[in-house]
Structure 1
Amino acid sequence: MGEGYGFAMPNSRIRGTEARVRPLLAALVAGASALALGGCGGSGAGAAPGDDRPVVLTTFTVLADMTRNVAGEHLRVESITKAGAEIHGYEPTPSDVRRAAEADLVLDNGLGLEAWFEQFVEEVEVPHAVVSEGVEDLPITEDAYAGLANPHAWMSPLNAEIYVANIAEALSELDPAHAEDYARNAEAYTAELRQVRDELVAELETLPENQRALVTCEGAFSYLARDAGLQEQYLWAVNAEQQATPQQVADVIEFVERNDVPAVFCESTVSDEPMRQVAESTGARFGGTLYVDSLSEEGGPVPTYLDLLRHDAETIVEGLKGSA
């Protein structure tokens, strides 16, 4: 795993943290501890009456869905952030700290995705595991983040297989009695990932050579672009700003015009206004909304991670071919 703002891991997949309370979250931790002592202990926040299964808390909804597929019925899996949330600049709430204090395991992506997470998890004594461990990361090449690892490694189904293996190992350490079930569930889910990956690459490979460019708001598709042989261009490297700078917009306009890119896209968790400006200035189509950091609510377009991959592949192909 690359250097930068990722999290180092010991030999064990699960890492125990020390409670080094800092002023920023000290009050939240004190409140969380009081609530935990006065509450139901290890049953976790939001548990149904009588549900005493161990609680696994993930940092965002994509990881929660992966984990549920591995955990099956043995564990209760929750996400700190809700569907549709922007993960990069998320600010933990007192409720989040309480939930973490009551959880049995916290899973995070690592690779610097959750800039708020390292301090957050250190405020409570919670074991955690970094599920991207072992992924060969791609570096960010522009802006203030240049040289750091691109954190969106799950956007490659090949990388997702590593995530699933890490999740299965962490769950088995937490709950050894059901280790065989976790291994079996992980194997079945990995087979689904491989099928989706084959479908995704086959779809994207149908694009003509001059249409094999993916222009998005955030540089979140480097791993997907690598897998599918797409050239990538974006307005900003990481979702750290609320809007694009004039220079960023100008650079993307120049790229689209120079390469005659037929369509451009934007992610669901940020405003698409800057990219629509690119489309209007170049004559390219706005090809649609892509999903990266967050799943949708049940009944929405991407309620699961596998749905997210399929939706993005279909949207990209339809947009670039002009059928959107």
Structure 2
Amino acid sequence: MGRITNAMRRKSIRTALTAALAATALTFLAACTSTPDAAATVDPSDQRPVVLTTFTVLADMAQNVAGEHLRVESITKVGAEIHGYQPTPGDIAKAAEADLILDNGLNLEAWFSQFVDGLDVPHVVVSDGVETISIAEDAYEGLPNPHAWMSPLNAQIYVDNMATAFGELDPGNAAEYAANAAAYKTELQAVSDELTDELATLAPNQRALITCEGAFSYLARDAGLSEHYLWAVNAEQQSTPRQVAAVIDFVRDNEVPAVFCESTVSDRTMQQVVEASDAAFGGTLYVDSLSEAGGPVPTYLELLRHDTELIIDGLTRAGS
């Protein structure tokens, strides 16, 4: 992680860069699928440094560390599929005005390097230091599974990286960022403890987490669960008949009580697994995006708690 310097110098030239970058992006992205513009109306009197994250989960984590000293925003909106996102001209203009950009790394944001190319804005990879798990199959076999934040233990590494980056960006409030991070990590540890404690008594056939995408490798490792899925990464959303049959066979052979799917993809194929076995559909898990404020997972901690409770309920009570 490089030290963040010359923030005032960068800010002075970004305004001039913004119009040119946006115009270039209009031509470059003309053929891309249209997506909502991430640029939002902000109070012009708000002079706090701007931290831009690639998706809503990171934004909420960052806000907990930043407190009131930084303005934290997400490039992607609630419900967006992060893997194949196509940045808009407004996104690029907004990034040019940021003081710091946070990305997950681990090949999650395939669009990110192109997105920041040419921008004089520092960025930090918040997954640095995580012990990765490799993807086991499909086109991405051997690459690190990018969903490291789904482990509350890994999330504490993310938080430490954010606190360090914010302290370098804004040294006058470094002590407060460190204190916020410590308090937030205590809450993350509590969720991790709840997950492992609740699942400790599961029978062997209940210790399997079946999902649409292989996004739960880290959480499954923490909880001592085996992980099974219809496809490895959401960029490969078309599961083959062979993959579906293999999941059905596993569920039948092991009498797995419940299966799940993620909020950003259709559960249609997983419902085929339900119909072909005695498993119940345990519900919708959240991974790549938070919900709206009134929804089930408006914050990252609530996302973890929601998923933990759903998994525990499904594996311990479904079919009982």
Same fold (TM over 0.5): yes
Deviations 1:210-257 (A, max 9, x none): 211000000000000000000110001100134322122112112112
Identify which of 235, 240, 244 aligns with 1:240: 235
Q: Does structure 1 retain, via aligned residues, the 8 Å contact 2:282–2:318?
A: no
Deviations 1:114-146 (A, max 9, x none): 111111111422110000000000011111111
Could you tell me the TM-score, scaled by structure 2's length? 0.88
Q: 1 CA distance for matches of 2:93 and 2:104?
A: 20
Could you tell me the TM-score, scaled by structure 1's length? 0.87
- In the alignment, what sits opposite 2:171? 176
* Distance change >3 Å, CA 242–CA 236, structure 1 → 2: closer
User: 1:1-324 counterparts in 2 under 5 A?
Assistant: 10-12=1-3, 29-31=21-23, 46-323=41-318
Q: What letter is aligned with 2:55?
A: F
Q: 2 CA distance for matches of 1:115 and 1:226?
A: 25
Q: Does structure 2 retain, via aligned residues, the 8 Å contact 1:13–1:166?
A: no
Q: Percent identity?
A: 69
Q: Does structure 1 retain, via aligned residues, the 8 Å contact 2:22–2:89?
A: no
**Which stretches of structure 1, 4 residues or more, deviate above 6 A after TM superposition?**
none
- State the secondary structure of the residue aligned to 1:53: coil
- State the secondary structure of the residue aligned to 1:240: helix
- In the alignment, what sits opposite 2:30? none
* Distance change >3 Å, CA 84–CA 30, structure 1 → 2: closer
User: What runs of 5+ residues in structure 2 fail to find an aligned partner?
Assistant: 8-17, 27-38
Q: What letter is aligned with 1:302?
A: V
Q: 2 CA distance for matches of 1:264 and 1:126?
A: 43
Q: 2 CA distance for matches of 1:136 and 1:167?
A: 17
Q: What letter is aligned with 1:218?
A: E
Q: How many residues align?
A: 298
- How far 1:291 moved relative to its partner? 0.5
- How far 1:49 moved relative to its partner? 3.6
Q: Does structure 2 retain, via aligned residues, the 8 Å contact 1:107–1:130?
A: yes
Q: 2 CA distance for matches of 1:306 and 1:32?
A: 38
Q: Does structure 2 retain, via aligned residues, the 8 Å contact 1:218–1:236?
A: yes
* Distance change >3 Å, CA 45–CA 272, structure 1 → 2: closer
Q: Does structure 2 retain, via aligned residues, the 8 Å contact 1:243–1:274?
A: no
Q: Does structure 1 retain, via aligned residues, the 8 Å contact 2:4–2:122?
A: no
- State the secondary structure of the residue aligned to 1:137: coil
Q: What letter is aligned with 2:146?
A: P
Q: 1 CA distance for matches of 2:231 and 2:52?
A: 30
Q: What letter is aligned with 1:131?
A: V
User: What runs of 5+ residues in structure 1 fail to find an aligned partner?
Assistant: 1-9, 17-25, 35-43
Deviations 1:188-227 (A, max 9, x none): 1111111111112112223222211000000000000000
- How far 1:46 moved relative to its partner? 2.6
- How far 1:82 moved relative to its partner? 0.8
Deviations 1:10-40 (A, max 9, x none): 55479x9xxxxxxxxx998242899xxxxxx
Q: Does structure 2 retain, via aligned residues, the 8 Å contact 1:31–1:94?
A: yes
- State the secondary structure of the residue aligned to 1:282: coil
Q: What letter is aligned with 1:204?
A: L
Q: Does structure 2 retain, via aligned residues, the 8 Å contact 1:32–1:97?
A: no
